[in-house]
Structure 1
Amino acid sequence: MWLASEKLGYPFGPMVRLLLLTAQRRSEVSGAQWPEMHLSGNDQQWIIPPERSKNGKEHFVALAAEAIREIEALPKVRPAEDEEPVFLFTTTGVTKVSGYGRAKKNLDAEMLKLAKEEAKAAGRSADKLELEAWTFHDLRRTAASGMARLGVPVHVVEAVINHRSGSIKGVAAVYNRYDYAEEKRRALIAWASHVKQVTES
């Protein structure tokens, strides 16, 4: 998927890679806005405002170096010549990107092409090779599962993905207002490092 996304180009290629690197929802990534990005200093993060967060709460997403590289490489499409850019992923500058279905088909086609090339290079038949069905939301599951596999505790994974499934219950759920900022940062850095290792091998 990572290699195929590089064939797609902007806006969907980098959008898909950020879905995987940040573990956030498709609507949150596709609608990400430049003012939400804090890329300078030692605490680089993406702050998703309450009105764009599914649970209605402001959400802080630590940005690993790999995610920052993706963001900094994006073109800045302005709504008008004298206006500041708003959306990270847009073709008009006025609205966020759309057309996920077509983008997914193009991505699948590139993935299948790469898989067939890999099979042929290994001396295997590629004639009946098919992709398993998957969705963009699966990238969020992949990231969550991957972080857990790397030893990240479940409550930290849930904090990263801004999900409240109830791993912290009862009195602890009422009084625990700690946002696990440093733990989330370590988790996303470890995950991004793992993704980089896998995609470059």
Structure 2
Amino acid sequence: MALGNSRTGKQVSKVATVPKVSGPLSDAKIMALRPATSGQIEYRDSMVPGLRVRVGTTGIKTFVLRKRIAGKNRNLTLGRFGERLTIAEARKKARQILSDVELKADPAAAVPKPQRRVVHAHTLNAMWPDYRQAKAHLRTVGEVERIFKQHILPEFGDRAADGITRSEITRFIDRIAKRTPVMARNVLSQFSAFYSWAMPRLDRLPGNPCRDAGRPPKPKARERVLTDAEIGALWHVLDGEGHPFGPAIKLLLLTGQRRNEVFEAERSEFDLEKRLWTIPAARAKNGVAHFVPLSNPAFALVKGLLEHDRGDKLIPARGNWEAGPSGFSKAMTRLRAGLEERVGEPVPHWTLHDLRRTMATGLQRLGVRLEVTEAALNHLSGARSGIVGVYQRHNYFDEKGAALKLWAAEVARLARAAKAKSKRPR
């Protein structure tokens, strides 16, 4: 805690005290407080006299206790609001200080002296570069880095790794799970992997705190498959979407490949003379290089996308030719609304990954053998996994080409049917 004095006019002008929020302060109410537009704003607590929450322009919320000591107004900084200092803990700390001030002969002695912050050599921030280097050989190192920088380091970066508890991790994961259960499981898995690496390097760490932390339940497997009417209507909606999402999602629908494999594709992966798309092992989810024969419609889309001559990406972001596009959420909102308008009725929620499942289901309906369907999807399960996968080395290249050609013809048929239906009087 830090001792401050807010009697000067300069300080007072920067801190504005507003009326109490309705009812006592709570953690939920504090979390909902918006950043100050300028300076700082203090919100008073109705349960402990002098206790306030100070909010700055960055949105950081700090508990302060204002008390008159030895004839002078003092601001006592209790600490930053968060998991380690909730409103309940702040009230407890404030009441103790108020009690000490009343009892001590020297009131100023009741105020704890500010302590120098000790930078722990084993904070997550300090250990992260070595851990990142240890994982540099992994194909998924980009995902490891993304999860650490977006989730783990902002929450625990300045904490000693051997001081983070199982309950703290559980609460952290629970908060993420309220928004995205799948991401919560991924974050916990990456955090646990870090501790497996860190344990031999931390003498005081008794065990992996992630091991017994609460884990969100595995989400139910999705079963969404677009109907024939939805497939045909979606094709026309994509006609109106334009670059980059229109042609890119058409390519995704025609080939059944994963979203990142399409949107992060490099120009060098395509051989127009052979009408072949080669997804390298480094980019394939299962680490196996994948050869995708291009049907006529897919070939036409790729040829059109390759007309630009800037950067290495097949589908570059606007204004950044070396990166893939962003703005997926807004694009999907437009496409879902457009599909409902085109179909003329509510459409169940669907995602880009559902298009991959839709193609797989469509190939089965068209009589394509399961092992060929799995080969087309580069999916190592079922017929291509286990001992069978070890000895069965046939890559089904010709069969994949025939299957994708058949599926492209089916999508074209459904698009024609949707167009004809839209012309009929209602």
The two structures have a TM-score, normalised by structure 1, of: 0.85
Kindly state the Cα deviation for residue 71 of structure 1 after the two structures are TM-superposed.
1.3
- Aligned partners of 1:169 and 1:56: how far apart in 2? 14
The verdict on how the C-alpha distance between 1:172 and 1:197 changes in structure 2, with shifts beyond 3 A counting, is same
Pair 1:98-2:326 in alignment: yes
Alignment of 1:123-142 (within 5 A): 129-142=345-358
Matched residue SS, 2:368? coil
Contact 1:48 1:58 in 2 (8 A): yes
Which of these residues, 236, 245, 253, is aligned with residue 20 of structure 1?
A: 253
Give the conservation status (yes or no) of the 8 Å contact 1:47–1:58: yes
Judging changes above 3 Å, is the alpha-carbon distance between structure 1 residues 154 and 115 closer, same or farther for their aligned structure 2 residues?
A: same
Cα gap change, 1:169 to 1:53, in 2 (>3 Å): closer
1:85-112 CA-to-partner distances (Å, cap 9, x unmatched) read: 3112122211011111111011112212
| Matched residue, 2:343 | 115
2:315 matched to which residue of 1? 89
Which residue of 297, 300, 323 corresponds with 1:66? 297
Rounded Cα–Cα distance in structure 2 between residues aligned with 1:58 and 1:169: 16
**Equivalent residue for 1:119?**
none
Q: CA deviation at 1:173?
A: 2.3
Is the contact made by 1:78 and 1:93 (CA closer than 8 Å) also made in structure 2?
A: no
What is the alpha-carbon distance in structure 1 between the residues aligned to residue 261 and residue 335 of structure 2?
20
TM-score, length basis structure 2: 0.41
Change (3 A) 1:161 1:168: closer
Match of 1:49 in 2: 280
Alpha-carbon shift at residue 45 of structure 1 (Å)? 0.9
User: Is 1:174 paired with 2:407?
Assistant: no
Change (3 A) 1:152 1:181: same
What residue number does 1:121 align with? none
| SS class of match (2:361) | helix
Take 1:51 and 1:169, find their aligned partners in 2: how far apart are those partners? 20
8 Å CA contact 1:64, 1:189 repeated in 2: yes
Q: Distance in 1 between matches of 2:270 and 2:403?
A: 19
Residue 18 of structure 2 is matched in structure 1 by none
Q: Which has the higher contact order (CA 8 A, sep 6+)?
A: 1
Counterpart of 2:230 in structure 1 is none
Q: CA deviation at 1:75?
A: 5.9
Indicate the residue corresponding to 1:126 in structure 2: none
Letter in 2 for 1:68: F
Compare CA radii of gyration and give the structure with the larger one: 2
Where does residue 6 of structure 1 map in the other structure? 239
Structure 2 residue ranges without an equivalent (≥5): 1-233, 418-426
Contact residue 63 and residue 185 of structure 1 kept, 8 A: yes
Q: Is the 8 Å Cα contact of residues 77 and 93 (structure 1) preserved in structure 2?
A: no
CA contact (8 A) 1:152 1:187 kept: yes
Name the structure 2 match of 1:189.
405
TM superposition shift of 1:113: 2.2
Q: Aligned partners of 1:158, 1:115: CA distance in 2, in Å?
A: 30
Q: How many residues align?
A: 182
Would you say the 8 A contact 1:62–1:185 is kept in 2? Answer: yes
